[in-house]
Structure formats: C-alpha cells, structure tokens
Amino acid sequence: MNSTIALFLLQDGVINGAIYALLGVTLVLIFAVTRVIFVPQGEFAAWGALTLASLESGATPGTALLLVVLGVSAAVVETIRERASMRPARLGVMAVRDVAMPIALLLIVSTIAPTKPALWLSVLLTLALVVPLGPLVYRLAFQPIADATVLTLFIAAIGVHFAMIGLGLIFFGAEGFRNEPFIAGVFPLGPLMFKGQSLVILAATAALLAALWFFFEHSMLGKALRATAINRLGARLVGIPTRATGRIAFALAAAIGALSGTLIGSLTTISYDSGFIISLKGFVAAIAAGLASYPVTVVAAIGVGVLESFAAFFASAYKEVIVFSLIIPLLIWRSLVTAHHDEEEE
C-alpha cells in the first residue's frame, strides 16, 4: 500500500459516500417529518436508474405504467375510505392529479421514448415519473396509519419494501442495466484519475445538500416541514396541514432517490433489487446521526464510504461485515450520549 493507492481508495470512498449521504439525508428527512423509518428509500434510486436506462434504450419505462396503476389505486382507496366527507371538488382534484396526469405522462413518455431523447430530457422525464410515486406510496401505505407508533410505521415500511421489490421485478424484469455517464471521459489530477461521472456525483450531491439547506432555512414550506418534525400536534394547531407535509417529504425523498439512482447508474449495474443495500449504508450514516442531524449524516455517510473502500482493499471478503458491524458501537455510543426520551408515551 502506497500513497497513490490510498488516494485512489479515498477518492472512491468519498464518491460512494456522497451517494450514501443523499440517501441518508432523505431517511433523516422522512423520519423527522413522518416518523417513518423508510426502508424502501433505495428502491426509488433503483427505479430512477432503471427508468433512465429504459429511456436510453428507447423503451417506455415500467414506472410510467406503474404510476397510472398506483394513481388510480390511491384515488379509489381514498374515495372509499373517506366517502362520508368526500366533496365533488376533491374528487375533481383526484381525478385530474391521480388519474388524468399519470395517463397523460404515460402517453407523453411512450411517444417521446422511441426517439431516444437527449440525456437532460431523459433525466427530467425520469424525475417526472418517479417523483409522484413518493406521495402515492405515502398515501397508500402510511397516511392511514400516520398516528401509529414508530414500530408500526417501521413494520409497514418493511411491507412497502417487499411490495416495491416485487413491483420492480414485474415492471423492469430481472436483468440489470447500466446508464450512459453524464460526462464521459477521465480527468487526470496529479497521480489520480477522476471519472467525469464522479465529478458529477460530487457536484450534484453538494448542490442538492445546499438546496435542502436553503429549503429548510428560508422557505415557508421547509419551515412548515421542520415545524411538523419538531411537534406534529403543535404544527397542526398553528394551521400546518400535517398530511400535506408527509406527502411533500415523500416527494422530496423520491426526487433525491431517483436523482441518486441516475447518478450511480453509470458506475455500476443496477437491477430491480439493487437499491436496498445502498440505502442500508445510508441508513448506517443516518443512525450515526441519531436520525436527527443532517450535517452529521453527511459526514458519517462519507465515513462509511471511505471505510468501505479501505475494507475492500484490505479484506474484501469481510467488507460488508465490517461496514455493518459499525452500527453496533454506534448504537451503543448513541444510547450512552443521548438522553432517553420515550416518544411512544405520547
């Protein structure tokens, strides 16, 4: 091992860590706003990468059809569940938002896809397809039990994870895909070689984190999300619609997930079940931050990436063991330093 190898490993670790950071931050965000430990976050990443891959190959992505299916189900389920208080205006909103818009998107995508659209357009279409899935998942699975305990929500999240894995298999098939890099080519810097895509990942992560910071600190919507995170009841009392904040949190999660998917899609082969392990590493970072602090999550995620990369060099067979064992001392440390408050008592 010499310094060049160490630098290579460090670079590799930081880039992977950047992706874990994005996923870790969304886990913290969702947990803070809705108290859901969102296990299936990685699926959004996988779906983002697979949707982009379908568009690149000129096929209509499975997510377009999935969006219609989920949209119609959400509309039907909500109408039945709230039939007593259902007003024509809300029915109209749902008909447009959950039925008409997904069908319109499906038609648009299936006309554009065969022309193999430019990369920026493909990425935009990918986001347009995956982002609405976030709120739909929230409405179908979590909204009806929004006031349940963290444990119940967690169990529901595991169920959603399996459902999403199964849907991914149906809509994308079992084979893996790889995307074109956003920027092809390699840039030498001293002894190091930076892949164009690595630079894109670092830049996109930094930009997204900055945008999130701005959103939470300086926008009304972001402040409403923070208020809900701090105290749901209080937020409701001052007129913040907590249902809407849940949907917004999930839309953000789907957006960041899909974007991280399109970023890693050119580095590795992504198949319908690739997302889970990636988000699990983000989860390790989120745990290190006590599911509360965004900056600590980012630092911890990069730490996880670097640890993983060095573990791969020194003991590749035990790499995952090393990374996931990390969570045990972290949990012990957290339970020692944080004052214990039992939120189940509410």
Partner 1 sequence: MRQSIRIALLSGGVCLVGTTTLAQVNVGITVSQTGPAAALGIPQKNSVAQLPKEIAGQKVDYVVLDDATDPTKAVANARKMIAENKIDYLIGSSATPATMALVDVAAETKTPYCAMVPSKAVVDPVDEKRKWTFKAPQNDAIMAESLAEHMAANGVKSVAFLGFTDGYGQGWLEEVEKAMPAKGIKITAVERFQRTDTSVTGQVLKILASSPDAVLIAASGTVAVMPQKTIKEQGYNKPIYQTHGVGTMDFVRVGGKDVDGTVFPAGPVVVADLLPDSHPSKKVGLEYIKAYEANNKTPFAVFGAHLADCMSIAANSVKPALEKGKPGTAEFRSGLRDAIETTKELPATHGVYNYSPTDHAGLDNRSRVLIKIVNGKWTLLP
* Min separation Cβ 209 and partner 1, Å: 19
- At its nearest, how many Å lie between partner 1 and the CB of residue 267? 6
Contact pick of 104, 108, 210, 277 for partner 1 (by CB under 8 A): 277
Size of the site for partner 1 (CB under 8 A): 38
236 Cβ neighbours under 8 A, 6+ residues apart = 242
Distance from C-alpha of 179 to C-alpha of 123, rounded to nearest angstrom: 11
DSSP 8-state class, residue 38: -
Contacting partner 1 (CB under 8 A), which of 195, 248, 258, 289?
Answer: 195
15 lies in the binding site for partner 1 (CB under 8 A): yes
Distances (CA, A) of 296 to 21, 150, 154, 290: 10, 22, 23, 9
Which residues within the stretch 111-170 sit at the binding site for partner 1 (CB under 8 A)?
A: 166, 169
Q: 193 forms bridges with which residues in the sheet? A: 188
**For partner 1, which residue of 225, 264, 284, 300 counts as binding (CB under 8 A)?**
264
Q: Please, what is the minimum distance in Å from the beta carbon of residue 169 to partner 1? A: 6
Binding partner 1 by CB under 8 A: which of 83, 175, 185, 339?
A: 175
Distances (CA, A) of 39 to 96, 123, 284, 286, 338: 30, 24, 12, 12, 24
Asked if 269 is part of the footprint of partner 1 (rule: CB under 8 A), the reply reads yes
Least distance to partner 1, CB of residue 147, Å: 28
By CB under 8 A, tell whether 8 contacts partner 1.
Answer: yes
Least gap, CB of 296 to partner 1 (angstroms): 22
**Could you tell me if 291 and 27 are in contact, meaning their C-beta atoms sit under 8 angstroms apart?**
yes
User: Token digits for 208?
Assistant: 């997204």
Residue of 86, 163, 178, 199 that binds partner 1 (CB under 8 A) = 178
| Cβ(265)–Cβ(52) below 8 Å | yes
Nearer to partner 1, 227 or 312 (CB): 312
Q: Which stretch binds partner 1 (CB under 8 A): 96-104, 110-118, 208-216, 305-313?
A: 305-313
Q: Which is nearer to partner 1, 177 or 294 (CB)?
A: 177
DSSP string, 58-104: TPPPHHHHHHHHHHHHHHHHHHHHTTTT--HHHHHHHIIIIIIHHHH
Under 8 Å between Cβ of 121 and 3: no
Chain residues in the site for partner 1 (CB under 8 A)? 5, 8-9, 12, 15-16, 19, 166, 169, 173-178, 186, 193, 195, 264, 267-269, 271, 273-274, 276-278, 309-314, 316-317, 319-320
